Amino acid sequence: MAARLNCPDIVDFLIDGGADVSTSDNLGNTPLHITSDARTAGILIDKGAGVSTLNNARQTPLHTALSRKNTAVANLLIERGGADISSQDSMGQTLLHIAVKSDLPEVARTLIQKGVDTTLPDTEGRTALHLAVKAENVEVVRTLISNGS
């Protein structure tokens, strides 16, 4: 609850008191999946929260941060947390798919620079390039094509 409400000092206090950073709700979401506060996410990472833990939809905390367009938490998970950038959720969506769908070109560029596979299709056969073209996002289309899509 403290992670959902973005109360980093309370999160820190609870963890120091023995709260489990890997506890999950009925959807399999851990505190790191649900926080929208970068400071809280940083505390959770420092205290051992799993940055690659999958929820019931096979989404990592980075998937959920990108879906919510939370670039602060997403960048923290990528840069400091060592998140697995190659994971696909239950719909086959990569982090790049979600960054493109969420109109986050800077995050898409970061993922490409980190070596994410730009050609992986989702379960419907769509690649990130398909999604960028559909969204008429010329900037992302250029980036994807110049990086092998």
Is 104 within 8 Å of 71 (Cβ atoms)? yes
CATH placement of domain 90-149:
1.25.40.20
Map 45-67 to HEC letters: HHCCCCCCCCCCCCCCHHHHHHH
Q: How far apart are CA 129 and CA 141, in angstroms?
A: 6
Q: Which residues of 16-49 are buried (b: 16+ CB within 10 A; e: fewer)?
A: eeebebeeeeeeebbbbbbbbbbbbbbbbbeeeb
CATH superfamily of 1-84: Ankyrin repeat-containing domain (1.25.40.20)
Q: What does the pLDDT average to over 86-98?
A: 94
pLDDT 10s digits, 58-83: 999 999 999 999 999 999 999 886 78
The reply to whether domains 1-84 and 90-149 share a CATH topology is yes
What is the token pair recorded at 131? 């999604």
Supply the pLDDT for residue 5.
Answer: 58
* Distance in angstroms between the alpha carbons of the first and the last residue of the chain: 41
What is the token pair recorded at 91? 């719909």
Q: Confidence band (pLDDT; 50, 70, 90) for 104?
A: very high
pLDDT 10s digits, 14-45: 888 999 999 999 999 999 999 999 999 999 99
pLDDT beyond 80 at 4: no
pLDDT beyond 60 at 2: no
Q: Where are the chain's structural domains? A: 1-84, 90-149
- What residues are paired with 131 via a beta bridge? none
Helix (H, G, I), strand (E, B), or coil: what is residue 122? coil
Q: What does the pLDDT average to over 74-94?
A: 89
Supply the pLDDT for residue 122.
Answer: 96
Helix (H, G, I), strand (E, B), or coil: what is residue 88? strand
